[in-house]
Amino acid sequence: MRINPIQLQSKQALFNDYKNDFSNIADKFEYDPKDTSIWERRMEHLRTRSYQRDALTDVLIDMNKRWNAPESTISTIEKLRDEESSVVIAGQQAGLLTGPLYTVNKIISVLQLAKQRQKESGRPVLPVFWIAGEDHDFDEINHLMMKSEGKMKKISIGQTPESKASVSEVEINKSSAEQWVKDIFGAAKEAEYTSEFYEQVQMLLEESETYSDFFAKLVYRLFPDEGLIIVDAHDPKIRKLESPYFSTMIENNESIAGGVFAALQVNRKQGYEMNLDSDLDDAHIFYHDNGDRILLMRQENGSYRGKNNELTLSEQELKETAEQLPERLSNNVVTRPLMQEFLFPVLAFIGGPGEINYWSALKPAFRAVDLEMPPVFPRLSFTFIDRKSEQHLERLQIDASEAIRHGVGEEKMNWLASRSAPPIHRLSEQVKEEIDRIHRPLREKSSEFGPDLEQMAEKNLDYIFKQIDFLEKRMNQSLEQHYEHEVAHFNDLDLLLHPSGGLQERVWGIVPWVTLYGTDLFCRVNEHTIPFHEDHFIVYV
């Protein structure tokens, strides 16, 4: 396995500044991730705060034992009792079969930074992955993209929750899930580990009650010895620990909302495109009622209502809920980072480009509840290349980094053009030049009869050019058919390295890779020491 860094510019202006021109957005964050002095400063801050370490440890051990977590995880959780321990944390929804590759990339990022910081500091640094189990957007996680007939095809599970229940509350419809797994593996190319992995997935599915269970059990199958800690944020025992923190968020709700709203306006005025919508009356807290997750809005009189007027609660009633029934509350993207900070001694948070985008507006929210935003690190980003695809790249003389950035469409057309002598496109251009020369006297003469006829002559030339373009297109299609086998290699490389015009990690899932190289593939990536200052990495498996 080789892992090579490449430069890769993000399409998001704020994320580019975060990685390359931090001074432009330094006021939006507490720490510069490239400043090596931040670690001692952050540890000093953590020492000033208190955490429910023993209670949280007990809850995490109980939760992870239910998932049959490996002994390495249980041992790591115990270290949380140590007052000098801290965590590196990241999170994601519980995607089916982990969802797109960026989920395992994020897990590798947590493991890497925790390992690097522990080695550097000599103090326990624990890797934590936060399942956002309270999220209710099932459509966002109910599918995988699989390669089928030369394109990526969405394969969705045949289950639709009856209400807007949190994913951690949605029981798996076993018959639908089993059929979905069959469909996924049916779309996968038969490889060395296909049968073995299929049996493992079937077993984990049978053992799981909810999709969060299924996610956690599979992650531990992929990362069995790394000491990764998984936490389901929607577990009732976690909610009980969060009770006082919900109360704090309710008491400071107006300041949280006002600060975030103002920060978003500043960011937009500075030309940064924001992927977070927030109004002054947003409570940034959900209320769970009869299986539905209801977003709360704050009213002028201090009471709260559902966004669609589903219910109304006084501030006192909401506080009593936080104190007595905290499992009825959950966070949104604004208050979730605050809850992580309240609950864990966070040494660093790891996020993707989209998360860092909206975190840039959260500094006022942290300060509103007397918290400090932790150091924020961009997650590691990978593109995997199998051996056969690497051979095709070499044979066709395609630079992998350029293919990741732009795709291989231009290389394919240039290759096809080289099969024709003279090249079809050049021949087409020469014909156009000659027709333009022959046609010019007609255009000049038509101008003598008035602007209408002159315009008609120009349209006539344009029509002829379009017919030449059409003929060129058909000739290229015929050429492609003649070299169908070679063209397929270009198309496959484009689908692998630049699917849907973007990164592999946002479209492809783990199944093709695990069936080809085994469940230990991502652990083998994690065995390397991977620097966080690079933009992207190519993993030659």
Give the C-alpha separation, 230 to 128, whole Å: 6
Residue 230: phi, psi to the nearest 5? Answer: -105, 135
pLDDT digits (tens, 9 = 90+) for 240-255: 999 999 999 999 999 9
Which one is predicted more confidently, 459 or 430? Answer: 459
* Burial degree of 377 (CB within 10 A; 0-12, 13-18, 19+): buried
Helix axis angle for 451-482 and 484-497, nearest 10°, is: 100
pLDDT > 90? residue 488: no
pLDDT digits (tens, 9 = 90+) for 30-46: 999 999 999 999 999 99
CA-only gyration radius of the chain, Å: 28
∠ Cα 479 483 488 (to 5°): 115
- Position 421 scores a pLDDT of 61
Q: Calculate the CA dihedral of residues 140, 143, 144, 148 and round it to 10 degrees.
A: -130
Give the C-alpha separation, 525 to 494, whole Å: 23
Number of neighbouring beta carbons within 10 Å of residue 187:
17
Closest CA to 372 of 93, 23, 122, 38: 38
Strand partners for 88? 127, 348
- Position 394 scores a pLDDT of 96
Give the C-alpha separation, 180 to 159, whole Å: 10
**Confidence band, pLDDT 50/70/90 cuts, at residue 134:** confident
Q: Answer yes or no: are the C-beta atoms of 228 and 129 closer than 8 Å.
A: yes
pLDDT digits (tens, 9 = 90+) for 327-383: 999 999 999 999 999 999 999 999 999 999 999 999 999 999 999 999 999 999 999
Q: Average pLDDT, stretch 195-221?
A: 96
pLDDT > 80? residue 446: yes
Q: Average pLDDT, stretch 174-195?
A: 96
Domains of the chain, residue spans: 408-509
pLDDT > 80? residue 94: yes
**Confidence band, pLDDT 50/70/90 cuts, at residue 422:** low
Give the C-alpha separation, 276 to 333, whole Å: 9
**Confidence band, pLDDT 50/70/90 cuts, at residue 420:** low
Q: Answer yes or no: are the C-beta atoms of 205 and 174 closer than 8 Å.
A: yes
The chain-wide mean pLDDT, for the chain, equals: 94
Q: Average pLDDT, stretch 311-335?
A: 96
**Confidence band, pLDDT 50/70/90 cuts, at residue 207:** very high
Percent of the chain predicted with pLDDT > 90: 83
Residue 283: phi, psi to the nearest 5? Answer: -85, -20
Residue 95: phi, psi to the nearest 5? Answer: -70, 150
**pTM reported for the whole predicted model:** 0.89
